[in-house]
Amino acid sequence: MDLFDEIDESQSLKLAEGSTLLRGFALCEQATMLKDLHAVVTLAPFRHMVTPGGFTMSVAMTNCGDLGWVTDKKGYRYDALDPLTGKPWPAMPASFMALARAAAKLAGYSEFTPDACLINRYQVGARMSLHQDKNERDFNQPIVSVSLGVSAVFQLGGFERADKAVKLPLYHGDVVVWGGDSRLRYHGVLPLKVSHHPAFGEYRINLTFRKAG
């Protein structure tokens, strides 16, 4: 954990009450995380899920950990089983858990132990419309969000969908710890632009760690 503890404090930026951007915090673990990500998606492949409204999401998703976030015609929820395989989601890799806990700790959440990791994969044009994360049991628990690969523009909004959103570029290795008063802010991701990352190709990968159950 020494590498994590030595992060330059100047790389830690308060975005809003309760949310902190840690620029480049995941860089030191990227090789292990890429290897572990491959193992997870071999067991639980990326898929495009369908919203309750019947739209197929442009972002491909999978999960690891005890619980996984899913959506289908019946609604949004967490489930212990992958609906594609009928099996439990792959275990959360130790490298993922360590990174999430270290980032949360640095942002002031020393007790964070995620039980779910939603993995989003964006390709050119994929986007995430403004939403709130409300399927978790306890909104006092933060969410740790890790961005890898192609950079994207994150929208950080207010507490109503129509509130003006601030645009924030997120780069390979950036981590946002999202809690406290910011936990229920609307947020989204603008359509991914054409780009290339040496390790992740045309894709942006986003990992969000949650204590869902």
| Binding positions for Fe ion, 108-167, rule CB under 5 A | 133
CB of 2 vs ligand MD6, minimal distance in Å = 27
Q: From CA 115, how far away is CA 107, in angstroms rounded?
A: 19
Stretch 131-170: interaction string toward ligand MD6, x if CB under 6 A: --x---------x-x--------x----------------
> Which partner, Fe ion, ligand MD6, none, binds residue 120 by CB below 5 to 8 Å per kind?
ligand MD6
In terms of residues, how long is the chain?
213
Alpha carbon distance 194, 186 (integer Å): 25
- Interaction between residue 128 and ligand MD6 (CB under 6 A): yes
- As measured in angstroms, the least distance from the Cβ of 120 to Fe ion is 9
The reply on whether position 62 binds ligand MD6 by CB under 6 A is no
Residue 211 interacting partner from Fe ion, ligand MD6, none (CB closer than 5 to 8 Å by kind) = none
For the bound state, the minimum distance from the C-beta of residue 88 to ligand MD6, rounded and expressed in Å, comes to: 23
Q: Is 98 exposed, middle or buried (0-12, 13-18, 19+ CB in 10 A)?
A: middle
**6's tokens:** 């030595």
Q: Give the residues lining the site for ligand MD6 (CB under 6 A).
A: 120, 128, 133, 143, 145, 154, 176, 178, 187, 189, 206, 208
